[in-house]
Copies of this chain bind each other. A is one copy, B any other.
Amino acid sequence: MANISDVAKLSGLSKTTVSRVINNHPYVSDKKREQVLKAMKELGYIPNPSARRLRGQLTTTIGVIVPRIVNPFFAHLINSIEQAASEKGYQVLIGQSYEDKEKEVAFLNLLKTKQVDGIIMTSTENDWNVIESYIEYGPIMLCNDYVNQEIAPMIRLNQAKGAYIGANHLIERGHRKIAYCTGGLFDEQGKGKDRNRGFQKALSEAGIKINPKWIFIDQHTIEDGKHVLRQILEMEDRPTAIFTGSDEVAGGIVIAAKEKGLTIPNDLAVIGFDDQPIAEILDPKLTTIRQPVDLMGEKSIEVMIEMLENPEMEIRNYDLPIELIVRQST
């Protein structure tokens, strides 16, 4: 593999001049620039990123942590981030945490050794004080997930509002027996707390008391959704509607409900979250809360690049709109 010296030799110039051409520095005569370019092409020369990184250069690489790539929501989020990054001349390095603290830390360590310029976290496994300790090595920001702090920018969706409008929609449809399904916990602190709050607010405003039996926590997959439906079927007093924290879980509920002979939305209204492709594939099509994935990707990259170019930048949060998409399941 040709290196900068080879190019220098072939072009009859010094390494410095070659380097200047590579990096678009001024003070290179057009003639010599031509010579260098020609030699580079002739040798198929590509600057060695390891050497550049070692030298302390920016890497034009941004790391993105997701829980798992097989979750379509995150696959689409990665995609939108990568598209936006690509337009600005940045690469994206994808890391799956598999919801594992150590894997997350391992990825954050890329910052220490300048493998990436900055990191966008779409989920957080470790406590914030752990993550915070990496900020000295490079900018970190949160997109999608968020925590209570003011040290890293966050691209947030108003999850509370999303849950609120979703629950309200069910109430407007006449439901008063509403179940709730979350990927997190149903408490004041844990994952999904904002959605919990929005849900609770809608119900309390309508004078509806929450039935604890109809609260399902830690539900993620299609299989989980099927299981939820089976549990509901075994109840004496059944809900007439269910709000879920993901389209996948909602999908599982819809599929299992049909298998059991229930009609959606007549026997059970179902509302999802994310507006993934599956929402339009299901029959009936899923009413859901849309998360603006493309916007999230664009905004993340915009903010990240600003942090990279201007480290003194003011840290703030960016709230993106969230929207109810009414289809057939409610």
Contacts and interface: CB of A to CB of B under 8 A. Distances in A.
Interface of A: 1, 46-51, 53-54, 68-70, 72, 75-76, 78-79, 82, 93-94, 96, 109, 112-115, 137, 222, 251, 255, 258, 277-278, 280-283
Nearest to A115: B49
Given A70-B79, A93-B93, A50 B281 contact: no
Contacts of A68: 79
Contacts of A1: 112-113, 137
Q: How many copies does the complex hold?
A: 2
Contact of A94 (B54, B94, B109): B94
A28 B124 CA distance: 39
Nearest to A110: B49
Contacts of A93: 93
A200 to B, nearest CB: 31
Contact of A283 (B50, B258, B280): B258
Interface centre among A54, A72, A281 (most CB of B within 10 A): A281
Interface centre among A50, A113, A280 (most CB of B within 10 A): A50
B75 A112 contact: no
Nearest to A284: B283
Given A82-B96, A137-B1, A115 B76 contact: no
